[in-house]
A and B are shown apart, each in its own frame.
Chain A
Amino acid sequence: MILTLLILIPLVAGILSFLAKENGKMIALLSSVATLGVAIATSVHAGTQTISWSIPWIPRLGAQLSFYADGMSAMLCLLTAIVMPVIFITNWNKTVDRAGSFYGLMLLSQAGITGVFLAHDALLFYFFWELALIPVYFLCSSWGGEKRVAVTFKFFVYTFLGSLMMLAALIFLSSQNPGVNAYSWENIVSAGASLDPVTQQWVFVLIFVAFAIKMPIFPFHTWQPDTYEQSPTPITIILSALMVKMGLYGVIRWLIPVAPEGVALWSNTIVVLSIIGIVYASCIAIVQTDLKRLVAYSSIAHMGLMAAAAFSQTKVGMHGLMVQMFNHGINITGMWLIVSMVEQRWGTRDMTKLGGMASTAPKMAIALVIISLANIALPLTNGFIGEFMLFNGLFSSASQYHIIFMVVAGIGIILGAVYTLNMIQKTAYGDAVEMTVSKDITTNEFVGLTIIIGIILILGVYPKPLLDMTLGVVNMMIP
């Protein structure tokens, strides 16, 4: 029951927000804080035991409304529930046109994303997968930059095509074992795992395309930098901190157990693609002068490392992946918040026109430095432990090329340090550039950043709660 609340609160609040017009902001904040409370309660429970809830939905097909939370689902719900109020708090002072629709759509996308993390039924999973996409489509197209309509549509068609391929695989799997639970996760997994290797490969490819586009893995990433750049910051945060996790979550829950033979056959190829993605995205990030594009490419690089670890099939790598999914969500949210503050203060995102933040806005500069360092995984920040485990996993994987993988991915990390430090240097130091709106961080921005930085530091020093929470899932995934 507690799981349905996680979805129902944002859903109902979203609909109310449409009707409330200008007061949508208030509804959004209150409901997201309430959801956060529920999510914390869920996480506390799910750390020790799984929670599930289900009722029949379409008996003719064997689909059920079935929600399930283990450590991983609860952790990602918690991430969603933390990020949303942070967005609302930091966005509080900005005036948004048609605020009711804006906040309504934000909340609906929250409901969709949470649903994806909780659904334990393939059809329901697909429903939420699309339900998360549609509000984001409208958000980006209505409130984005100049080229928003074309860019968002490209994003939409790309992801929609991917989801349809996944749908083909899900229809196929569910028709293998028809019955009252045809769509339940257990049934899909057993149907998939019992197929012959050739068919499993097909199933693997169809499902993988959907998740690869969403993550995105090189070469499916072309929608991403443009979409991130054109979207308003709150949506960029939803896209990069949360929706990208849907892809990874999908891989872990709905791909690896479903087509183990397919994974075995394809994993080297995918790890290679992911590592190409890391190096490629890092190289492009180095030459970017636009802050938003820089962060977008850095996000592709980070996702590449996580995807590589997901397919390297080691216990420590998988555990690192769980932790890093959470941490990446927090860090990237912090990065986008800073970028949007910079854009608001200086009226530009071009790094060549920025400088001297440390003297003009010292508090913001401190936040920028801490979050950027977390982003390159410096020890004592949350990024370190996750990335360390990911590398460890990549190195100890069974693949014969594991050393090459590790070394090349390591180059990506060095490149990551290059562009991040370069960015800090260009924006925070150097000759001071006058702000157009002369103000260091405001109270609400301070609250938002404090939450983010607090999590970064606490988990950097004491990651145990997160590790404990996800240990059960890792043990189940890789015995």
Chain B
Amino acid sequence: MKAIIASTVLGVVMMFAGLLVKDKKAVSSLAIILFIALLGVNVWDLMTTSPSEPQSFFNNMLRVNGYSLWFNTLMTGCTLLYVMLVNKDIQRVGSHVAEYYALIFFILCGSYLLSTYNNMLMLFLGIEIMSIPQYILAGSDKRNLKSSEASLKYFLMGAFSTGILMMGVTLLYGATGTFNIVGFTFLQSDFLSPMALAGIMFLMVAMAFKVSAAPLHMWTPDVYDGAPTAFTAIMATVVKASAFLAFMRLFSVSFGALSSKWMLVLSIITAATLFVGNITAVFQQSVKRMLAYSSIAQAGFMLFAILAVNSTAWEGMMLYGVAYSVATIGMFAVLLKLKDYTYDGFNGLAKKDPVLAFFTTVFLLSLAGIPLTGGFMAKYFVLLAAVQQGKIMWLVIFALFMAAISSYYYFRVIIAMYFKQGEPEFQSEVTSTDKFMMAITTIIVLLLGIFPHWILHV
């Protein structure tokens, strides 16, 4: 578990670098080098830990299985991609560039805890370590009222949901006398005490809030829309995927045997999330806000992995996390280049910059789940897992209907780019480095769509 330590240390290094190095560009370059180093540490962890036998760390507080380390590595990779794509935009947000990077390192530290926790305290710590930097990042554009509003809203709502999480943990402790997540597996569905059941429901609500599942999604559009776009990109992707993994770890490891008790509630949450996310996204006029709703809609699909409780579901979750993150990061990187975030801002982009328009198209097709892109394979795996589970075929068909609706709002951007006249204005120049990074992102999206098993070799 060198990565947890490394991410903390590198975060602190970054903070001190902010004192010593004043040049924003140099800070960014340093950050990229440190992220590469962190990725290296993750790979080292992966190499030195045998995946077949789970290992415990820190007095059994953390426990890795094959998926945890691999997930950490993939998420670090996504973050590296994100930093390389948007570092210029991060520099433009404000003057404390080094601190922003430091906060991103801390977010990753929280994410590592969430993929490996074996104890409810670690779950709590992981969620807090991941959330607090986000509250700061959301408000980092201090002169912008919307950014401050987003930060405050996120903080208040987040603190509230953390309270509910704590309540759930307490109730479960009362019912079982342990914080260890393996300890909960001894709960039996025949004699489930109301206290334990209430604890599970509290936990479900708290986690549903963190992954912005309906009806607890209200904060998402405002926060994602208000926060500086450069940071929305990471909040909507790596953070969300990590929260999902934590959700899944809890509900498949600890409460998997009790699935009959929570399956119906979670099915309804999933249906509501798909419905609200997709239908509301149709009516948005701003692409940034549309992406916020689309992230809710995509969360609906990721919830299938939790519902399914089988091994395909784990693979589906990994694939979904990566495929969705990569495409969304790419989409935000394109959005950051434009001045006008409405659909009209995309008018005529294909004429002005056909290459950029092509990349955007691939990202959008991936989000819509068209074959040959990672998004399709990700949806495929989670739905396959759900079908294998066998009880929620109606929800699968409902989800596919919703996927057809989602093509409406994603294709609106494509229609604007290719078939409408206009002269899109760029906020900053699209350099060849940007294009190169976007090309890599596009290639990753396509490879995930053709050879999804390449990232599933655990």
Residues of A within 8 A of B (CB): 58-61, 126-127, 130-131, 134, 138, 141-142, 148-149, 153, 156-157, 160-161, 164-165, 167-168, 171-172, 174-175, 206
A selection of 10 A-B contacts at a CB cut-off of 8 Å is: A127-B371, A141-B415, A141-B418, A149-B419, A157-B408, A164-B403, A167-B380, A168-B383, A168-B393, A175-B388
Query: A69 → chain B, closest Cβ, in Å?
Result: 22
A156 to B406 CA separation, bound complex (whole angstroms): 12
A168 to B396 CA separation, bound complex (whole angstroms): 7
Selecting from B170-178, B231-239, B429-437, B450-458, the interface stretch reads B450-458
The answer to whether A134 and B418 touch across the interface, beta carbons within 8 angstroms, is no
Which chain A residues lie closer than 8 Å to B372 at the CB level?
127, 130-131
Sample of 15 more A-B contacts, CB < 8 Å, known A168-B383, A172-B387: A60-B456, A127-B371, A130-B371, A130-B372, A149-B419, A153-B415, A156-B411, A160-B404, A160-B407, A161-B401, A164-B404, A167-B380, A167-B383, A168-B393, A171-B396
Which chain B residues lie closer than 8 Å to A138 at the CB level?
418
Which chain B residues lie closer than 8 Å to A168 at the CB level?
383, 387, 393, 396-397, 400
Residues of B within 8 A of A (CB): 315, 365, 370-372, 380, 383-384, 387-388, 393, 396-397, 400-401, 403-404, 407-408, 411, 415, 418-419, 451-453, 456
A138 to B397 CA separation, bound complex (whole angstroms): 27
A142 to B365 CA separation, bound complex (whole angstroms): 18
The answer to whether A165 and B400 touch across the interface, beta carbons within 8 angstroms, is yes
A130 to B449 CA separation, bound complex (whole angstroms): 13
A153 to B411 CA separation, bound complex (whole angstroms): 9
Which chain A residues lie closer than 8 Å to B397 at the CB level?
165, 168, 206
The answer to whether A126 and B407 touch across the interface, beta carbons within 8 angstroms, is no
The answer to whether B315 and A156 touch across the interface, beta carbons within 8 angstroms, is no
A167 to B383 CA separation, bound complex (whole angstroms): 10
A206 to B387 CA separation, bound complex (whole angstroms): 15
The answer to whether B453 and A58 touch across the interface, beta carbons within 8 angstroms, is yes
Task: Determine which of B315, B404, B415 lies in contact with A161 in the assembled complex, contact meaning CB atoms within 8 Å.
Answer: B404
Could you tell me the dominant secondary structure of chain A's interface residues?
A: helix
The answer to whether B401 and A130 touch across the interface, beta carbons within 8 angstroms, is no
A174 to B381 CA separation, bound complex (whole angstroms): 12
Query: A160 → chain B, closest Cβ, in Å?
Result: 6
Closest partner residue, chain B, to A130 (CB atom): B371
A279 to B12 CA separation, bound complex (whole angstroms): 77
Which chain B residues lie closer than 8 Å to A153 at the CB level?
411, 415
Task: Determine which of A60, A127, A171 lies in contact with B387 in the assembled complex, contact meaning CB atoms within 8 Å.
Answer: A171
Which chain B residues lie closer than 8 Å to A134 at the CB level?
365, 370
Closest partner residue, chain B, to A172 (CB atom): B387
The answer to whether A172 and B393 touch across the interface, beta carbons within 8 angstroms, is yes
Task: Determine which of A61, A141, A164, A174 lies in contact with B400 in the assembled complex, contact meaning CB atoms within 8 Å.
Answer: A164
Closest partner residue, chain A, to B379 (CB atom): A167
Closest partner residue, chain B, to A60 (CB atom): B453
10 tightest CB-CB pairs across the interface, nearest first? A161-B404, A164-B400, A60-B453, A130-B371, A127-B371, A149-B419, A171-B387, A175-B388, A175-B387, A58-B453
Closest partner residue, chain A, to B404 (CB atom): A161
Query: B416 → chain A, closest Cβ, in Å?
Result: 10
Query: A170 → chain B, closest Cβ, in Å?
Result: 10
Which chain A residues lie closer than 8 Å to B407 at the CB level?
156-157, 160
The answer to whether B400 and A167 touch across the interface, beta carbons within 8 angstroms, is yes
Which chain B residues lie closer than 8 Å to A148 at the CB level?
419
A172 to B397 CA separation, bound complex (whole angstroms): 11
Closest partner residue, chain A, to B457 (CB atom): A60
A153 to B416 CA separation, bound complex (whole angstroms): 13
Query: A125 → chain B, closest Cβ, in Å?
Result: 10
User: Known interface pairs A58-B453, A164-B404. Does A175 touch B419 (Cβ–Cβ under 8 Å)?
Assistant: no
Query: B363 → chain A, closest Cβ, in Å?
Result: 14
Query: A214 → chain B, closest Cβ, in Å?
Result: 15
User: Known interface pairs A59-B453, A142-B419, A156-B407. Does A164 touch B401 (Cβ–Cβ under 8 Å)?
Assistant: yes
Which chain A residues lie closer than 8 Å to B383 at the CB level?
167-168, 171
The answer to whether A58 and B452 touch across the interface, beta carbons within 8 angstroms, is yes
Which chain B residues lie closer than 8 Å to A174 at the CB level?
384
Task: Determine which of B371, B388, B411 lies in contact with A126 in the assembled complex, contact meaning CB atoms within 8 Å.
Answer: B371
A215 to B187 CA separation, bound complex (whole angstroms): 54
Closest partner residue, chain A, to B415 (CB atom): A149
Closest partner residue, chain A, to B411 (CB atom): A153
Query: A119 → chain B, closest Cβ, in Å?
Result: 12
Which chain A residues lie closer than 8 Å to B403 at the CB level?
164
Which chain B residues lie closer than 8 Å to A206 at the CB level?
397
Query: A368 → chain B, closest Cβ, in Å?
Result: 34
Query: B277 → chain A, closest Cβ, in Å?
Result: 17
A59 to B452 CA separation, bound complex (whole angstroms): 10
Query: B112 → chain A, closest Cβ, in Å?
Result: 26
Which chain B residues lie closer than 8 Å to A149 at the CB level?
415, 419
Which chain A residues lie closer than 8 Å to B419 at the CB level?
141-142, 148-149
Task: Determine which of B371, B401, B415, B451 lies in contact with A131 in the assembled complex, contact meaning CB atoms within 8 Å.
Answer: B371
Task: Determine which of A60, A61, A142, A165 lies in contact with B418 in the assembled complex, contact meaning CB atoms within 8 Å.
Answer: A142
Closest partner residue, chain B, to A165 (CB atom): B400
Closest partner residue, chain A, to B402 (CB atom): A164
Closest partner residue, chain B, to A166 (CB atom): B400
Query: B431 → chain A, closest Cβ, in Å?
Result: 22
Closest partner residue, chain B, to A124 (CB atom): B371
A160 to B400 CA separation, bound complex (whole angstroms): 10
Closest partner residue, chain B, to A148 (CB atom): B419
Closest partner residue, chain B, to A58 (CB atom): B453
